[in-house]
């Protein structure tokens, strides 16, 4: 099952008839009038927009705009967050089972051994400042949880390219060699 289509179906189920009618009106220049008249649900409309390539799993600004126009900021925000958090990645875009175990172990060790320097580490990994600020805002008084969420966010973003060795490299670049050594030691134990 495609997670993006599942999310669109979820959004469709929360639209009332008036909102669907307004969305159809806003799409008159894109989808033919006769086709719009027969649409009875949001997912039918979304399917037509996908066919016209107005929305894709990585391009949702048009749909976000439509949802904002009908004053469904909640749905627009949910869609934006869903795409930004990388939840549209298919299972085949995730690391294999062995690498997932290595990543989980590395993340646990890092969370136990890195303190307030965590932002430097995740910046080296390429996590955006916006995501870092969102994580801090969601967990304002819990440094451990901030780091954990940042690393989980990085792993989602990287998908199958997320490697435990990248975490070790980032630690070393930030001169957190003791933490890097501990991660390597735990990974060695994991492999033996």
Structural contact between residues 158 and 85, judged by C-beta atoms closer than 8 angstroms: no
What's residue 2's pLDDT? 74
What's residue 46's pLDDT? 93
CATH 1.10.533.10 fits 95-191, yes or no: yes
Kindly list the domain boundaries of the chain, sorted by start residue: 3-84, 95-191
Structural contact between residues 48 and 75, judged by C-beta atoms closer than 8 angstroms: no
What's residue 89's pLDDT? 46
Structural contact between residues 126 and 154, judged by C-beta atoms closer than 8 angstroms: yes
Shared fold status for 3-84 and 95-191: yes
Question: Rounded to an integer, what distance in angstroms lies between the CA atom of residue 164 and that of residue 107?
Answer: 8
User: Could you say which residues of the chain have pLDDT below 50?
Assistant: 88-91
Q: Encoding tokens for residue 168?
A: 């070790």
What's residue 77's pLDDT? 84
What's residue 93's pLDDT? 61
CATH 3.40.50.1820 fits 3-84, yes or no: no
What's residue 90's pLDDT? 47
What's residue 106's pLDDT? 94
What's residue 85's pLDDT? 64
What's residue 23's pLDDT? 93
Residue 67: CA count within 13 A, CB half-sphere? 22
| Tokens 């495609």, residue located | 2
Q: Encoding tokens for residue 160?
A: 């199958």
This prediction has a pTM of 0.55
Question: Rounded to an integer, what distance in angstroms lies between the CA atom of residue 103 and that of residue 99?
Answer: 6
């Amino acid at each position: 099952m495609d997670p993006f289509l599942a999310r669109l179906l979820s959004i469709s189920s929360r639209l009332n008839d008036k909102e669907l009618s307004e969305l159809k009106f806003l799409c008159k220049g894109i989808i033919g009038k006769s086709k719009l008249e027969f649409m009875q649900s949001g997912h039918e409309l979304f399917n037509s927009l996908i066919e016209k390539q107005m929305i894709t799993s990585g391009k949702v600004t048009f749909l976000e705009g439509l949802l904002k126009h009908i004053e469904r900021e909640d749905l627009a925000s949910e869609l934006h967050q869903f795409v930004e958090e990388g939840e549209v990645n298919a299972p085949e875009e995730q690391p294999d089972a062995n690498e997932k175990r290595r990543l989980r172990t590395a993340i646990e060790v890092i969370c136990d051994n890195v303190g307030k320097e965590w932002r430097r580490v995740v910046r080296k990994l390429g996590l955006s400042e916006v995501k870092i600020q969102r994580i801090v805002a969601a967990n304002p008084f819990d440094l451990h949880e901030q780091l954990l969420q940042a690393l989980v966010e990085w792993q989602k973003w990287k998908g199958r390219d997320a490697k435990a060795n990248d975490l070790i490299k980032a630690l070393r670049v930030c001169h957190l060699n003791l933490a890097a050594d501990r991660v390597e030691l735990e990974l060695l134990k994991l492999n033996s």
